Amino acid sequence: MIDLPSRKIPYVSIGASFFPYFPDFTDFPDFTLSLRKTYCMKGKSPKESHTIMNELVLPNDTNTLNNLMGGRLLHWMDIAAAISAQKHCNRIVVTASVDNVSFKHPIKLGDVITIEAKVSRAFTTSVEVRLDVWAENIPSGARLKSNEAYYTFVAVDQNGSTIPVPELIPETIEDMVLYEGALRRRQLRLILGGKMKPDDATELKALFFGGND
């Protein structure tokens, strides 16, 4: 339920519809955010945030064994994921968390890294981004899946205050599987981040205890 502010809200017409026009967000932020979410934000599909980034592993990216350093890969993944989140939100986003990342195979000097990112679910002000990473040896053509990961981003305004994000509407079966799992992953990361009590993690409890407390 929205408390209507005493001040009159002007409306602008777009086609046959009328939308509220918000000249000053600071006057009644909760009200304007609710209305903007209802009237002005349409849901988006995962393919709208799909991002592909390629990098060539150069000497400066490697350790003394000529393998790509893990921190450099995490940095590239952060950039690809942030681009994807920004495409979905059309806003500045900040990294809120990075889920556990394991490195399955060493990536060698001269390999080409391909990082694919797309939003897997949107919440209120945050989005979860799914990443898939491949390493390709160009002379041999061998291509190996190196990592999968989830990054969470929060949309912020110019003052750093959090703002609502558009809903994500899954399209394919794969999108739906990622979308369904996102609630459990979110609860786990919020517990680990000290933002949620384990007792409140209903999805996780249902997974482990079959819906019984």
Ligand X SMILES: CC(C)(COP(=O)(O)OP(=O)(O)OC[C@H]1O[C@@H](n2cnc3c(N)ncnc32)[C@H](O)[C@@H]1OP(=O)(O)O)[C@@H](O)C(=O)NCCC(=O)NCCS
* Shortest CB 161 distance to ligand X, Å: 9
C-alpha 171 chain-centroid distance: 17
Select 111 or 185, whichever has its Cβ closest to ligand X.
185
* Shortest CB 71 distance to ligand X, Å: 12
Select 124 or 172, whichever has its Cβ closest to ligand X.
124
Select 97 or 114, whichever has its Cβ closest to ligand X.
97
Select 57 or 82, whichever has its Cβ closest to ligand X.
82
Q: How far is CA 63 from CA 59, 68, 107, in A?
A: 8, 6, 11
* Shortest CB 156 distance to ligand X, Å: 6
* Shortest CB 47 distance to ligand X, Å: 21
Chain residues binding ligand X by CB under 6 A are 94-97, 123-126, 152, 154, 156, 162, 189-190, 193, 195
